[in-house]
Each structure stands twice: as structure tokens, then as C-alpha cells.
Structure 1
């Protein structure tokens, strides 16, 4: 088995820990060693697992280790990633056993992605790096997703959508088919995008409108 650690020690990291456990129940892939976080003191954190130190302590591990960045917002993913040394650290994709890919053969995916329970991917999806798909996210056919995006529980992404980098989609949000999303946008919970949007916006409502923030 390969050693695996979680970078980040918050509520979402507990869910990621459970995903690793569920994967191991089906196929024992990883020896989970614990959590690393700059803002949580060392010691017992979740079940029998501990916070073992800071992100820099994780960098000092002397053997190859898989790492999952467990952060629920795009800026936190980037903040942690920028602190990590890549010499002996690898960033696997994490697929919960209950998630579905309707056509895994056509899936193109990078590294460091987390796909949580009961999420689904469709045909001809292209996904970049370090994206978080929380529980029950649905991704339609021919969708292209960039890097460092987060999709909260039950986000719905229709077919043919293109999403850039560093976007945060709130719980039960969605986007209609063949629309485009730029970079660094926030889509509020329960909001639905009916049109394409550019960069650095905050959107809310049905249909989702810019809040001017």
C-alpha cells in the first residue's frame, strides 16, 4: 500500500478521510497516516487519526507519499498547494466508490481531483487539476472544467458547459447547457446560471444575476 496524507484539517477533511476508508474497503490502496495543517495543533483530530504537523512538516516526509488537498474553497486549495514541495509528494485523483462515470473511457482528467459520494460524470468530460466535487454533484456530457474549482453538494452542471479556473459553486447551484464560466467567480447556493459569465463575479438567484460584489 502507498502512504497517503490529507493536507488540511477542517470539516471537509473528515469527509475525505471517510472517502479514503470507503475506497480501502473495496480495494486496499492506501495507508492513511494523518492530517497536516498550519492552523490546527498536533494531536487527535478525527476518530483515531491525528494532526501530525504543519504543511512544512508534510514537505519533510522522507519517502514518496500521496497527498489529498482537502479544502472546500478554491483560494484555500491554491494556498495549500503553493506551500507544498513536490519532490516526494504525489497527488492522486480520489473517486468515492459510489460515484459514477457513464463512460470512463472518454474521461480526460488531470491530478489531485476529489470526487465525493454519489457524484456522477457523463460522456466526454475533460477535467483539469485539483477540483473538488462534493456529494451528489452531476456533470453533463461534453463538459470542460479547468483547475481549482469547487462544487458544493448537489451542484448540477448541464451538458456542453465550459468552466475556467478557481470558481466556487454553492450548494444546489447549477448552470444550463452550453454556457461558459470564466475564472474566480462565486455562484451562491440555490442559484442557477442561465447565461455565460466572465471573470471575478458574484452571482445569486434564479436566474443568477451579478450582485456587484
Structure 2
């Protein structure tokens, strides 16, 4: 088994730990070693483990370790990733056993992505790196997703959508088919995009409109 650690010791880290456990119940794939966090004291108990140190401690690994970045927002993913520079660290995709891949053969996917329980990907999806798909996220056919995006619980992405980098979709949000999303946007919970949007906006409502923030 490969060793695996979680970068982060917050609420989302608990869910990631449970996903690793569920994977190991089906196939003993990883030996979980613990959590690392810059803001939680070393030695503090978290779940069933002690926090082993901060990101710099993780960089001191003498053997290969798989690392899952447990962060629910795009800027936090990037912030943690910038601190992890050791060539001993690798960033696998983490797929909960309950995820659905309607046509895995046509899926193109990078590294460091997280698919939580009951999320699903359809046919001919292209997904970059370090995206977070929380529980119940649905991605339609022919959708292209960049890097560092987060999709909160029950986000619905229709077919043919193109999404750039560093976008945060709130719980129960969505986007209609064949629309485009630029970079650095925030889509509020319960909001649905009816049209394409560019960069660095905040959107809310049905249909989602810019809040001017």
C-alpha cells in the first residue's frame, strides 16, 4: 500500500478521511498516516489521529507520499499547493466508491481531483487538476473544466459547458447547457447561470445576475 496524508485539518478534511476509509474497505489501497496543517498545533488529536505537523514538515518526507489537499475553496487549494514543493509528494485523484462514471473510457482527467459520494461524470468530460466535486455533484456530457474549481454539494453542470479556473460554485447551484464560465467567479448557493459569464464576478439568483462585488 502507498502512504497517504491529508493537507488540511478542518471540517472538509474529516470528509476526505472518511472517503479514504471507504476506498480501503473495497481495496486496501492506502496507509493513512495523518493530517498536516499550518494553523493546527502539532500533536493535537483530529479524528483518530494526531496532527503530524505543518506543510513544511510534509515537505521533509523521505519516502513517497500521496497527498490530498482538503480545501473547499479555490484560493485555499492554491495556497496549500504553493507550499508543497517536495518531489516526494504526489497528488492522486480521489474517487469515492459511490461515484458514477457513465463513460469512463472517454474521461480525460488530470491530478489532484476529488469526487465525493454520489457525484457523477457523464461522457466525453475533460477535467484539469485540483478540482473538488462535493457530494451529489452532476456533470453533463462534453463538459470541459479547468483547474482549482470547487463545486459544493448538489451542484448541477449541464452538457457542453466550459468552465475555466478558480471558480467556486455554491450548494445547489447550476449552469445551463453550452454556457461558458471564465476564471475566478463565485456562484452563490441556489443560483443558476442562464448565460455565459467572463472573469472575477459574483453571481446570485435564478437566473443568476451579477451582484457587482
Give the match for residue 35 of structure 1.
35
2:154 corresponds to which residue? 154
Q: What TM-score comes out, normalization by structure 1 length? A: 0.99
Deviation at 1:45, TM superposition (A): 3.4
How big is the shift at 1:42? 1.7
2:211 is matched with 211
> C-alpha distance in 1, partners of 2:148/2:8?
15
Structure 2 residue 184 is matched with structure 1 residue 184: yes
Q: TM-score, normalised by structure 2?
A: 0.99
Is the alpha carbon distance of 1:188 and 1:124 closer, same or farther for their aligned partners in structure 2, counting shifts above 3 Å? same
Alpha-carbon offset, residue 211 of structure 1 = 0.1
TM-aligned CA deviation for residue 18 of structure 1: 0.3
Distance 2:116 2:68 in 1: 13
Q: C-alpha distance in 2, partners of 1:75/1:145? A: 17
Shift of 1:47: 2.9
Measure the CA separation in 2 of the matches of 1:116 and 1:80. Answer: 20
1: CA distance, partners of 2:51 / 2:170: 28
Q: Which runs of 4+ in 1 moved over 2 A?
A: 43-47
Distance 1:26 1:198 in 2: 42
Secondary structure at 2:160 match in 1: coil
* Residues paired across the two proteins, number: 213
Q: Spell out the pairing of 1:72-151 with structure 2 (5 A cutoff).
A: 72-151=72-151
Report the equivalent of 1:5.
5
| 8 A Cα contact 2:14 2:47, kept in partner | no
Q: CA RMSD in A?
A: 0.7
Structure 1, unmatched stretches of 5+, are: none
The Cα offsets for residues 111-130 of structure 1, whole Å up to 9 and x where unpaired, read as 00000000000000000000
Q: Distance in 2 between matches of 1:86 and 1:156?
A: 36
Q: Which runs of 5+ in 2 are unaligned?
A: none
CA–CA distance in structure 1, aligned partners of residues 81 and 145 of structure 2:
19
Aligned 8 A contact 2:5 2:65 in 1:
yes
Tell me the CA shift for residue 48 of structure 1.
1.6
